[in-house]
Amino acid sequence: VPYEPRSVAASCSLSSKETYDYIVVGSGPGGLPLADRLSEAGHKVLLLEKGPPSSGRWGGTMRPSWLSGTNLTRFDVPGLCNQIWADRNGIACTDYDQLAGCILGGGAAINSGLYWKPHPDDWNQSFPLGWKAPDMQAAVDKVFARLPGTTTPSMDGKLYLPQGYNTISAGLSAAGWTSIVANDQPDKRNKTFSHTTYYFSGGERGGPMATYLLTASQRKNFAFWTNAGVKRVVRTGGHVTGVEVECGGSSGVISLTPTTGRVIISAGTFGSAKILWRSGIGPKDQLDVVKQSGDGSTMVASDQWINVPVGNNLYDHVGTDLEIAHPNVVNYDFYAAYNRPVQSDSQAYLNGRTGILAQSAPNFGPMFWDIITGADGVNRHLHWQARVEGSRGTSMTLTQYLGTGSVSRGRLTINSQLKTIVSKSPYLNDNNDKAAVVQGVQNLRDALDKVSGLTWVRPSKSQSSSAFVDSIPTTPGSRNSNHWIGTNKMGSDDGRSGGTAVVDTNTKVYGTDNLFVVDASIFPGHVTSNPTAAIMIVAEHAAAKILALPFPAAA
Ligand SMILES: Cc1cc2nc3c(=O)[nH]c(=O)nc-3n(C[C@H](O)[C@H](O)[C@H](O)COP(=O)(O)OP(=O)(O)OC[C@H]3O[C@@H](n4cnc5c(N)ncnc54)[C@H](O)[C@@H]3O)c2cc1C
C-alpha cells in the first residue's frame, strides 16, 4: 500500500491511478539519494526497482543457513560479498553482457564497500562548469555526514589478518611513499597509501540502503516498488507523461503529475542507456535496432526520436592485476565462509559483529596511489588495491586502476534481443593511457624491490613492465573493474547538434523538458578510485540542481 511508512517495499500496483511528482527509476547509489532528497522536499515520489529486495532490512531472504533466524542476508555481511563470484543467480542483470546488480541497492548491495572521497582532479579534469571541486564540496559534505565510512569495520575496532597490509605498506614506506588517512586527505593521492575505507556501519553493509532509503521510507509521500522494471518513458515530443512498468508478468503505465511531474532515470550505465534507447532517445543506428526488436510495434514514432549520443563515452577503470607472494601473508577462505564458516568467526560475527567476517572479502589493503604526467601534459591517476588472493596460499593480487585523466573511450550498443553489449572496448586505446599504466607498474616494482622474501609471480622478474602490460588483452574479460561510467555523458555541448553530451548540466536529457538521468552513466570521465561515493555525491548535487529548476508553464 503506497504512502504508509514501511520496512519493506510494496508490491507494484499497475492499475493505480495515483500520479507522482517524481518517478525515480533504479535504487543504486545514484537513485537512492535522489529519492530521499526529492521526498524530503515534500514531493510525492515513487522509486521503481527492477530487482528483488537484498538486505534483510527490506525483506531480502537470500542467506546461508548460519544466518537463519536473523534479519541478515548474504548482502548484509561484508565477509560474504565474494559470493557474487560464486552465485549471481537472481541478483545480476541478465540483459547486459557485463556484471551489474539488478537488485535493491544495485551495485551497493553486491560490491565490496570500498568508499573514497574524490580527489579535486576527479571533478576538475572532466566535469563541466558547475561541477568543479569547489561546486561539489557541499555535496561531498552531505554524503559523508550521512555515511562517514570506516577503516575498522569490525565492531571491536580491530583489523583482522593484517599481515598482507603490513607487508606491502612497509615496502611502500621504505621506498618513500607516505601513509595517509585517505578520506581525511583526499587531495593526497600521489605516492601515498592507506588502510581501506568502507561505507559499512555497525558491522554490516549498511550504505545508501541503510541511510537514504531508510529516511525516505519513513515519509508518507514516498513509495517504492521492487520487482518493477521500467520498459520506457512515455512521452509526447520532449515532455514525459509517465513510465511503462513491467511487473508480475504484466505491464502498465504509471503517470506523472500533469505539467510539473518529472522522471529521473538512475538505472546505471547499462540500464539507463537501455531505457533511453527504448524510449526513442539515442543515435539513429541504435534506435533502428530497437525498432526491429520485440519493442518495435509499440515504440515511439521515428519522427519523435531524439538523436543524442547515448552509448558513446563508455569507460571503466582499466584493471591491471599483478601478483606477489610473501611468507607472511595469511589467506582466509571467504568462499567457504558461506556454507562452512569457521565456527568461532561466524559466532563472533553473530554475537557482536566482530572479526574477519565484518571485513570485505578478500581482505583488502593497503590501497595506494600514484599520479603519472603524460607526454600530453595530462595527469593520470592510478589507484592500486591489494587483496589477499592469488595462485598461491601466500599470494596477494595488486590491482591497478587507471581512472582520472584517461582519455580512452568505448561504446555501448544494444542488440535485437535488447541486450546491451560493450561493442567497443574502452581500455588503453590511447598511447599516453598505456604509458601511464606501464610507468605505474614499473614504479610499484621499484618500490617493492627491496622487500625481503617477496616473490613476483606476475610479472616475473625477467619480464619488462611494458611487455607485461602488452601481454594482457584490452578486453572487458581481462581488464574490467565493474566501474562502468559515461554512456549518458553530461556536458554543455548538446548532443543533438554534434556535441558529445546526452544530459545538460542540470542532468536533464537534451530535447526533453522533464526527463533526467542521474547515476554513473552521466560521468564525463572517471574518478581516481572506486566510484560509489562519487556517484552518491553526484546524486546529491543533482538533487539540489533539479529541485532549483523552474517547472514548465501549464499548457
Ligand atoms: C562486483 C562489483 C564490485 C564493486 N565494488 C565496488 C566497491 O567496492 N566500491 C565502489 O565504490 N564501487 C564498486 N563497484 C562499482 C559500483 O557498485 C557501481 O559503480 C555503482 O553501483 C553504480 O551505481 P549506479 O547507481 O550508477 O547504478 P547501479 O548500482 O547499477 O544501480 C542501478 C539500479 O537500477 C536498477 N535498474 C536497472 N534497469 C532498470 C529498469 N529498467 N527499471 C527499474 N530499475 C532498473 C538495477 O536493478 C539497479 O538496482 C562494484 C561493482 C560490482 C559489480
What are the tens digits of pLDDT across the range 175-223?
Answer: 999 999 999 999 999 999 999 999 999 999 999 999 999 999 999 999 9
Is 195 a residue of the active site? Answer: no
The reply to whether ligand 1 has any atom less than 6 angstroms from the CB of 30 is yes
Q: Which of 317, 326, 381, 483 is catalytic?
A: 483
How far does Cα 202 stand from its chain's mean position?
A: 22
Ligand 1 nearest atom to the CA of residue 245, by list position: 42
On whether both 169 and 287 belong to a single domain, the answer is: no
> Nearest 5°: phi and psi at 263?
-115, 135
Task: Give the whole-angstrom CA distance, residue 529 versus residue 445.
Answer: 21
Ligand 1 nearest atom to the CA of residue 85, by list position: 1
Partners of residue 179 on adjacent β-strands: 193
Q: What is the pLDDT of residues 480-538, one digit of tens each?
A: 999 999 999 999 999 999 999 999 999 999 999 999 999 999 999 999 999 999 999 99
The reply to whether ligand 1 has any atom less than 6 angstroms from the CB of 483 is yes
126 assigned to some structural domain: no
12 assigned to some structural domain: no
CA-nearest of 217, 194, 209 to 111 is 209
Task: Give the whole-angstrom CA distance, residue 188 versus residue 171.
Answer: 19
On whether both 106 and 165 belong to a single domain, the answer is: no
The reply to whether ligand 1 has any atom less than 6 angstroms from the CB of 244 is no
- How much distance in Å is there from the Cα of 110 to the middle of ligand 1? 8
129 assigned to some structural domain: no
Counted domains in the chain: 2
The 3-state DSSP class for residue 366 equals strand
E strands, 296-378, where? Answer: 318-325, 364-373
The reply to whether ligand 1 has any atom less than 6 angstroms from the CB of 35 is no
On whether both 108 and 219 belong to a single domain, the answer is: yes
Q: What CATH number has the domain bearing residue 184?
A: 3.30.410.10
More confident residue, 553 or 25: 25
Task: Give the whole-angstrom CA distance, residue 532 versus residue 105.
Answer: 11
Could you say which of 455, 479, 503 is where a domain stops?
Answer: 479
229 assigned to some structural domain: yes
DSSP letter, residue 507: S
Helices (H) and strands (E) in the chain, counts: 15, 18
Contacts of 504 (CB under 8 A, 6+ apart): 490, 491, 492, 494, 510
On whether both 469 and 511 belong to a single domain, the answer is: no
Q: What is the pTM of this model?
A: 0.98
On whether both 432 and 443 belong to a single domain, the answer is: yes
On whether both 219 and 195 belong to a single domain, the answer is: no
Ligand 1: residue of 530, 536, 538, 540 to mutate (most ligand atoms within 8 A of CB) is 530
> Nearest 5°: phi and psi at 157?
75, 5
On whether both 185 and 267 belong to a single domain, the answer is: no
The reply to whether ligand 1 has any atom less than 6 angstroms from the CB of 84 is yes
Question: Is 543 exposed, middle or buried, given 0-12, 13-18 or 19+ CB atoms closer than 10 A?
Answer: buried
Task: Give the whole-angstrom CA distance, residue 244 versus residue 377.
Answer: 47
Q: What is the pLDDT of residues 390-413, one digit of tens each?
A: 999 999 999 999 999 999 999 999
* Predicted complex: ipTM over 0.85: yes
Which cell is 280 given? 526513442
For residue 390, the tally of other CB atoms under 10 A from its CB is: 21
- Mean pLDDT score, 355-362: 97
CA-nearest of 58, 357, 66 to 204 is 357
Contacts of 297 (CB under 8 A, 6+ apart): none
Ligand 1 nearest atom to the CA of residue 48, by list position: 43
The CA-to-CA distance between both ends of the chain, in Å, stands at 32
Distances (CA, A) of 404 to 75, 137, 245, 486: 30, 18, 36, 13
134 assigned to some structural domain: no
On whether both 390 and 474 belong to a single domain, the answer is: yes
Q: Residue written as cell 503506497?
A: 2
Q: Order of strands, edge to edge, in the sheet holding 239-247?
A: 19-20, 250-256, 239-247, 229-236
Which cell is 215 given? 529516511
Q: What is the pLDDT of residues 60-77, one digit of tens each?
A: 999 999 999 999 999 999
Q: What is 257-291 written as a DSSP string?
A: PTTT-EEEE-SHHHHHHHHHHHTTBS-HHHHHHHH
On whether both 254 and 330 belong to a single domain, the answer is: no
531 assigned to some structural domain: yes
Cβ(346)–Cβ(362) below 8 Å:
no
pLDDT grade, residue 10 (50/70/90)? confident
Contacts of 55 (CB under 8 A, 6+ apart): 73, 75, 76, 104, 105, 109, 205, 209, 210
- Mean pLDDT score, 321-336: 98
Q: Provide the annotated binding site.
A: 230
On whether both 199 and 57 belong to a single domain, the answer is: no
On whether both 444 and 376 belong to a single domain, the answer is: yes
Domain that holds residue 467: 150-203+315-408+427-479
Task: Give the whole-angstrom CA distance, residue 522 versus residue 501.
Answer: 9
Q: What is the pLDDT of residues 212-265, one digit of tens each?
A: 999 999 999 999 999 999 999 999 999 999 999 999 899 999 999 999 999 999
For residue 553, the tally of other CB atoms under 10 A from its CB is: 6
Partners of residue 48 on adjacent β-strands: 25, 225
Could you say which of 479, 509, 540 is where a domain stops?
Answer: 479
139 assigned to some structural domain: no
On whether both 174 and 37 belong to a single domain, the answer is: no
394 assigned to some structural domain: yes
Q: Provide the annotated binding site for FAD.
A: 230
How far does Cα 65 stand from its chain's mean position?
A: 29
E strands, 326-480, where? Answer: 364-373, 379-387, 395-402, 411-414, 420-424, 455-458
Q: What CATH number has the domain bearing residue 75?
A: 3.50.50.60
Q: What is the pLDDT of residue 8?
A: 66
Cβ(238)–Cβ(3) below 8 Å:
no
Q: Are strands 19-20 and 222-225 parallel, antiparallel or unpaired?
A: unpaired
DSSP letter, residue 306: B
Task: Give the whole-angstrom CA distance, residue 21 versus residue 13.
Answer: 17
